[in-house]
Structure 1
Amino acid sequence: MLALAGGALRTAIIGDDKGMLGPFIGVASILATDKLLAWICARFPRMNRLVEGFPAILVKSGIRDASMLRRHNVPDAALDRALHAAGLEDEANVRIARLEPNGKITLVREKP
């Protein structure tokens, strides 16, 4: 959202048009659309899933899914860092590892 607002303001700052009404309307429209979308997503779980997305399973029952890593552009090193941050050497003791819609990797260990 900030990138869109910045792009609209950049045109106003360095462009030939010296009017402020156009950029103001552009930024106000972007902010209003963001608020409306947030309001809709907070009230309708299906819309939230459509906008936010679904988690991807990277490891299941201790087996790394290389095709899912490639599909979501997650390098092996990123998964290894998440494992090490959780105190694990490898994925052998992981029941499930998910790439969440926010980009974080969530690990669930196997029960001892």
Structure 2
Amino acid sequence: MGVEKQVINEGDGVTFPKKHDEVAMEYTGSTASPIRWPKSHLHPGWLYDETTADNKGKKFDSSVGRGNLVTEIGVGRVIRGWDEGILGSDEAAPMSLGEKSTLTITPDYGYGDR
């Protein structure tokens, strides 16, 4: 699967990042239950986990309250799933300025088996 994108709020639809652009993003990273992959239900900022009461996976990192992550995109400075989720791929359109999306990323496009 690689990366699946669910748009929560549309961006401006005209300003798209290109490889080597500096982007700023707010994020929350969470793990998914090993029972279901891929998930069919998502919460903004969280992966679906049917084993928890609120269906949210375990949060492992977040920029919320710390400030945006600012990085060069498309050059491997972040996980492959972020590069492709932001720049777009054969399966998904690129994000545009101001867009809020949930990315579902398979382990091989994320942090592997850890």
Between Structure 1 and Structure 2, which shows a larger proportion of helix residues? 1
Between Structure 1 and Structure 2, which shows a larger proportion of strand residues? 2
TM-score (norm 1): 0.20
The structure number with the bigger radius of gyration is 1
Higher relative contact order (CA 8 A, sep 6+): 2
TM-score (norm 2): 0.20
